[in-house]
């Protein structure tokens, strides 16, 4: 019995080594798969930021290829990607925002200060749409086809390299 207890630390170490090996051998450790890929964008009915009584629904996302970007004023990475989103908008691609768990007045002021890359932003104060999308945090960006089906998801900032190597080819593949 005492001999078996001598091997317990070795067995524990071997188990930990196997778990770490499997974790570090992932193809892309930053890849956070989405169960919603190739699924319709979730239904929602939310107010449009800064528009009074106007509301938007899933139907407002149908009809053209577009990016949907989850953002917030409390998110420093959202500010880091903001200029790239404006550049993407200037290419003619529609970008829609989801203002996630944020104060609407702060969000309106933030967009006035930094520029507004969004065709419109919906207000997801409670984060319900974010939960439906499986959002881990802000920023996250989804590529939708003309039918409102999610074709690509990116977690983290969208920068020029992400645009060139990931999003632009994904757009080309669905057009």
pLDDT in tens, 73-117: 999 999 999 999 999 999 999 999 999 999 999 999 999 999 999
Average pLDDT over residues 148-155: 97
Helices (H) and strands (E) in the chain, counts: 6, 7
| CATH code, 151 | 3.40.30.10
- Judge whether 105 lies within some domain: yes
Question: Is a pLDDT exceeding 50 seen at residue 29?
Answer: no
- Judge whether 161 lies within some domain: yes
Strands 140-144 and 150-155, bridge-based pairing? antiparallel
* CA 22, chain centre distance (Å): 26
- Judge whether 26 lies within some domain: no
- Judge whether 25 lies within some domain: no
Question: Is a pLDDT exceeding 60 seen at residue 169?
Answer: yes
- Judge whether 8 lies within some domain: no
- Judge whether 12 lies within some domain: no
The pTM of the full predicted model, rounded to 2 decimals, is 0.81
- Judge whether 3 lies within some domain: no
Total count of domains within the chain: 1
- Judge whether 1 lies within some domain: no
Domain membership of residue 150 as a residue range: 34-174
| Euclidean distance between CA atoms 106 and 123, whole angstroms | 12
| Euclidean distance between CA atoms 148 and 75, whole angstroms | 26
What does the mean pLDDT of the chain come to? 90
């Amino acid at each position: 019995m005492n001999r078996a207890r001598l091997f317990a630390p070795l067995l524990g170490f071997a188990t930990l080594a196997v778990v770490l090996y499997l974790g570090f051998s992932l193809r892309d450790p930053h890849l956070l798969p989405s169960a919603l890929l190739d699924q319709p964008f979730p239904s929602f009915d939310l107010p449009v930021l800064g528009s009074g009584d106007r509301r938007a629904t899933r139907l407002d996302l149908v009809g053209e290829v577009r990016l949907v970007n989850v953002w917030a004023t409390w998110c420093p990475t959202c500010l880091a990607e903001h200029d790239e989103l404006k550049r993407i908008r200037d290419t003619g691609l529609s970008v829609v925002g989801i203002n996630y768990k944020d104060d609407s007045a702060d969000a309106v002021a933030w967009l006035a200060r930094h520029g507004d890359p969004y065709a419109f932003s919906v207000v997801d104060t409670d984060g319900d749409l974010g939960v439906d999308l499986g959002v881990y945090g802000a920023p996250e960006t989804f590529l939708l086809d003309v039918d409102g089906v999610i074709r690509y998801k990116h977690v983290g900032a969208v920068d020029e390299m992400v645009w060139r190597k990931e999003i632009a080819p994904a757009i080309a593949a669905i057009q």
